[in-house]
C-alpha cells in the first residue's frame, strides 16, 4: 500500500450510525433501572451500536492483538533491559504464559501475538508482519521511512480484516517492545505540543539517571528529525516504532471494518492518537479501557476525548488493561440483553427530569 492509497482508503470511513445509537439509548431507557444508572457502561454500548450499525451487538468472540517490535533508541540507555527481552516475551506470548495470556483466559479472549519487527529470526507461533528487524535509533535520524510506516499501518488494518473474517467482533490492543515508552513519549510530545519532560515517565522502573537519559534522548530525537505535528505520518516515521504504527493501523482497521478496538494504556493510546490525527472519523472505533500511571496517559485520553473504565494504576502493557475491561463489557451487555423492562415489571418508567 502506498501513502496515497492509504489516504484514499481512509476517506471511505463512514460516520457513526446515529440511528443505531438512538435505538440502543432507547433500549437502555426501557429497562427497569434508573435512567443512565450504569453510566459509561451504557454509553459504551451505545457507541458500539453506532460503530457497528447494530443496536444489539454480539461481542462473544474477542481477541487481543499483541504487537511486538524492537526499537533502536534502546542504544541510548533508555530502558533497564536490552532488546533481547522483547524476543523472550514474544516467545512466552506464543506459549500463552504471560500476564495478558492468564487474564485473557479468564476473560474468554483469544491472544494473537504479532511480530511487527524484532531482532533475529521470526518466532514460531507469532503472526509475521515484520517490517524490519527493529527500527533505527531516532537520535541519529528517522526511526523508519515513511514507506515503512505505511507498511506497518497497512499490516494493522489487515490484522483487523483477518480477525473479522475469523468471526471476531471485539478487539483489544496490546504491545511489547523494550524502549516503546520512549518512542510513545516522543510521538506524544510532538503531537500534543508538550515538553518531553512532561510526557516521559519511568517506564519499567527507571532510576533518576535513567529517566534523565530517556528525556534527553527524546529531546535529541525531536531536534534531529524536526517532526511536524501537522504531519502525523511523518511524526510516526521519525520517532515511533513498528508496534505503534501497527496499532495505529488496528484502530484505523476498526473504523473501516466497524469493529470496536479497546486501547490499552499509554502506548496504544498514542497509536490511537496517531490514527485519529490521520483520520478523525476513526475516533468512533476507539474505546478506552483504563488510565495508565504513565505521566502523559491522561493527556492522551483527554486529547482523544475518551474516558477510561478502570483507574487502577496499571502499567504492565501487553494489553492487560484492555483485557481487564472485558468483564465490564460482558456485564454491561448482560444487563442490556437480559434485564426486564418497566413494562414487563409493571413499573411506571422513569422520565428525564431535566
d(Cα 217, Cα 190) in Å, to the nearest integer? 14
Q: Is 257 a catalytic residue?
A: no
Whole-angstrom CA distances from 173 to 94, 145, 215, 246 are: 16, 24, 26, 10
d(Cα 278, Cα 230) in Å, to the nearest integer? 10
Contact 291, 298 (CB under 8 A): yes
Contact 110, 168 (CB under 8 A): yes
Question: Grid cell 457507541 — which residue?
Answer: 47
* Nearest CA among 184, 217, 71 for reference residue 131: 71
Contact 249, 268 (CB under 8 A): no
Question: Grid cell 509475521 — which residue?
Answer: 128
Question: Grid cell 527524546 — which residue?
Answer: 218
| Active-site position among 175, 257, 294, 318 | 318
- Give CA 250 to chain center in angstroms: 8
d(Cα 48, Cα 16) in Å, to the nearest integer? 9
Contact 264, 288 (CB under 8 A): no
User: What are the catalytic residues?
Assistant: 318
Amino acid at each position: 500500500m502506498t501513502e496515497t492509497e492509504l489516504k484514499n482508503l481512509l476517506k471511505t470511513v463512514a460516520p457513526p450510525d446515529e440511528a443505531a445509537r438512538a435505538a440502543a439509548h432507547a433500549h437502555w431507557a426501557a429497562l427497569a433501572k434508573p435512567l443512565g444508572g450504569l453510566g459509561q457502561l451504557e454509553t459504551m454500548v451505545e457507541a458500539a451500536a453506532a460503530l457497528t450499525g447494530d443496536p444489539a451487538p454480539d461481542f462473544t468472540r474477542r481477541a487481543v492483538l499483541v504487537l511486538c517490535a524492537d526499537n533502536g533508541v534502546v542504544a541510548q540507555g533508555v530502558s533497564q533491559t536490552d532488546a533481547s527481552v522483547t524476543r523472550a516475551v514474544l516467545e512466552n506470548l506464543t506459549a500463552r504464559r504471560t500476564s495478558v495470556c492468564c487474564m485473557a483466559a479468564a476473560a474468554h479472549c483469544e491472544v494473537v501475538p504479532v511480530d511487527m519487527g524484532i531482532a533475529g529470526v521470526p518466532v514460531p507461533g507469532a503472526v509475521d508482519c515484520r517490517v524490519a528487524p527493529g527500527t533505527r535509533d531516532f537520535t541519529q535520524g528517522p526511526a523508519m521511512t515513511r514507506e515503512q510506516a505505511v507498511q506497518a499501518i497497512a499490516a494493522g488494518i489487515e490484522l483487523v480484516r483477518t480477525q473479522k473474517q475469523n468471526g471476531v467482533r471485539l478487539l483489544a490492543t496490546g504491545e511489547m517492545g523494550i524502549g516503546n515508552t520512549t518512542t510513545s513519549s516522543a510521538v506524544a510530545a510532538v503531537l500534543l505540543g508538550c515538553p518531553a519532560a512532561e510526557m516521559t515517565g519511568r517506564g519499567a522502573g527507571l532510576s533518576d539517571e535513567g529517566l534523565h537519559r530517556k528525556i534527553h534522548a527524546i529531546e535529541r530525537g525531536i531536534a534531529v528529525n524536526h517532526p511536524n505535528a501537522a504531519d502525523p505520518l511523518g511524526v510516526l516515521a521519525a520517532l515511533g516504532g513498528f508496534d505503534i504504527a501497527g496499532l495505529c493501523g488496528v484502530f484505523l482497521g476498526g473504523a473501516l471494518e466497524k469493529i470496536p478496538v479497546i486501547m490499552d494504556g499509554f502506548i496504544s493510546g498514542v497509536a490511537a492518537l496517531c490514527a485519529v490525527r490521520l483520520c478523525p472519523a476513526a475516533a468512533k472505533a476507539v474505546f478506552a479501557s483504563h488510565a495508565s500511571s504513565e505521566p502523559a496517559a491522561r493527556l492522551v485520553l483527554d486529547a482523544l476525548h475518551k474516558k477510561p473504565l478502570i483507574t487502577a494504576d496499571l502499567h504492565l502493557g501487553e494489553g492487560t488493561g484492555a483485557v481487564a475491561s472485558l468483564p465490564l463489557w460482558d456485564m454491561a451487555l448482560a444487563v442490556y440483553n437480559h434485564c426486564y423492562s418497566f413494562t414487563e415489571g409493571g413499573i411506571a418508567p422513569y422520565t428525564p427530569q431535566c
